[in-house]
Amino acid sequence: MEKDILWHSTSHILATAVRRLFSKVKLGIGPAIEEGFYYDFDYPFTPEDLPKIEEEMKKIVEDDQRFEKRVVSKEEAEKYLAEDNQSYKLQLLSGILDDEVSFFTNGEFSDLCKGPHISSTKEVKAFKLLRIAGAYWKGDEKNPMLTRIYGISFESQSELDEYLRLLEEAKKRDHRKLGSALSLFSIYEEAGSGLIFYHPHGKVLVDQIIQYLKEEHRKEGYLEVATPHIGRKELWQTSGHCDYYSENMYFINKEKEDYVLKPMNCPGHILIYKTRTRSFRDLPLRYFELGTVYRYERTGVLHGLLRVRGFTQDDAHIFCTEEKLMDEIGRVIRFFQRMLSCFGFSEYEVYLATRPERFVGTKERWDMAEGILQDVLKKEGLPYTIDEGEAVFYGPKIDVKLKDCLKRSWQGPTIQVDFNLPERFGVEYIGEDGKPHQPVMIHRVVLGSMERFLGALIEHYEGKFPLWLSPVQVRIMTITDAAIEYAHKIKDRFLIEGIRVEADLKGEKIGKKIAEAQEEKIPYMAILGKKEAEENTISLRHRSKGDMGKFEIPNLIEILRCEIKEKKR
């Protein structure tokens, strides 16, 4: 059974139960989503209502109600919904262009719906209502706020039990809670929603990721550039963003000139490319930028590091000839595979996002670009799913969703083929024939948004980062004040060797110091007492391995440097 059909059918069971218990409630929509389903109601439900609704849903499941489709005229549908005082459904009906519409009925409940559905309510073997949230009708804050009830269902109780177990594990790994507990980042409402402030430890973590990114990009032949955070509006009119992306952009007007906080880095890279005449011998030309961009997101969808308004991308644009296009895309695929593996992500899903309804360029160019991406994915042996109509307006793309240790999906690398922006900006190179030609642009990110990737990384490792990424790699702890001078000496030595170290010299019991370090997920604890100071050694403890015995300083430094260099996980 397809999950989305099961989940959508369960949303109808939820609505059936709600109408039984709260007969006058007005209904919104109840779709299947990426994980489970929801239904929107114009009623002030609270979490305390969910157990009662679940009990009623169980009765409906046991009643073995059949899902039956009924096709009626729009006029008949309008009359039925008006009599039932379903104003939201009437709005949905008005947006349907067909002369006839369908309803699905189970028991006493009928809902305007295209379907499909399962045969009977009894096919839902296990379900759970998870939470409630507020949701504006049609996602517009100018519309009424509805109550959204989220749920999940499965074909067996064991599947539900495993899902709930992973859900509890995910709560422990929530990057927002860990980000606060480990003092990595904050979001301040007085500064603005969706804007990230990195604390010292968070900045160290981000810097380690960035340093590695820069090293690997240099090895791959990328040239690093930097572009301003704002640009004149005309630049974004040429690119097409003002026509196709304006609802996500921030506009500024000063001294009668219009500027834009850049939502993307590509126009800036094009301007750098155009500073001089390029030859076919210069291509492929790979520009790389850790570019901070700004995109308007509705307040209701902002979520920690995962959905923000200002973020930094490991963004690159490759200018190449059509003949080299497949080779370059394949090279990017192998690059992101290597990078994801280094950070501990070995599983991912690949999607090919195709032409949307609104786009620039010709269908022929789009078909060609989509075909090239498909050919490369096949050549690289990557299974993929077509994501119909989900490309951005200037070119199709490969979207990669990486899987964490709980098998959850996170948006990661993207590779986009673009014939259109080079044409709109008049980008050229001189070919072997001495004539000007238009290059193809590849837009790509390897990790994507640094903020979103960091959120995924925090949850994947539950804050227990590998040594090379850990903001603090070693914490020195003294058992007695007699070891304080020795602790300072060891700390200075570690700092000289490039090891990130802190010292806990408080006059507290060592057990409490260890507990605090464990809670802060410090990889190594160097415990120093009078005996260690006399022997010039360290008693070492690891956050997961426990007591590791005594080490001489040079030996320990070599062990740590080796682990850092090899990026062991």
Q: In whole angstroms, what is the distance from residue 357 CA to residue 102 CA?
A: 25
Instruction: Tell me which of 117, 233, 286, 295 is the catalytic residue.
Output: 295
* 449 Cβ contact partners less than 8 Å away, ≥ 6 residues apart: 308, 311, 312, 313, 411
CB neighbours (10 Å) of residue 310? Answer: 16
The yes-or-no answer on residue 237 being catalytic is no
Q: In whole angstroms, what is the distance from residue 527 CA to residue 505 CA?
A: 11
Contact by Cβ (8 Å): 478, 502: no
Measured in degrees and rounded to the nearest 5, phi and psi for residue 97 equal: -85, -20
Q: What is the SS3 assignment for 230?
A: strand
Q: What is the SS3 assignment for 370?
A: helix
Q: In whole angstroms, what is the distance from residue 87 CA to residue 84 CA?
A: 9
Tally of residues, the chain: 569
Single-letter code of the amino acid located at 29: I
The yes-or-no answer on residue 320 being catalytic is no
- Buried-state track 182-199, b at ≥16 Cβ within 10 A, e below 16: bebbebeeeeeebbbebb
Q: What is the 3-state secondary structure (H, E, C) of 451-497?
A: HHHHHHHHHHHCCCCCCCCCCCCEEEEECCHHHHHHHHHHHHHHHHC
Instruction: Tell me which of 40, 49, 315, 399 is the catalytic residue.
Output: 315
Rg (CA), the chain: 28
Instruction: Tell me which of 286, 397, 491, 543 is the catalytic residue.
Output: 397
Sheet holding 524-528, edge to edge: 501-504, 474-478, 524-528, 537-542, 546-552
The yes-or-no answer on residue 443 being catalytic is yes
The yes-or-no answer on residue 562 being catalytic is no
Q: In whole angstroms, what is the distance from residue 406 CA to residue 169 CA?
A: 8
Looking up tokens 């990114």 gives 213
Contact by Cβ (8 Å): 367, 359: no
Instruction: Tell me which of 128, 217, 443, 491 is the catalytic residue.
Output: 443
Contact by Cβ (8 Å): 273, 319: yes
Instruction: Tell me which of 175, 269, 278, 317 is the catalytic residue.
Output: 317
The yes-or-no answer on residue 367 being catalytic is no
* 274 Cβ contact partners less than 8 Å away, ≥ 6 residues apart: 425, 426, 427
E strand or H helix that includes residue 54: helix 50-62
Catalytic residues: 266, 295, 313, 315, 317, 397, 443
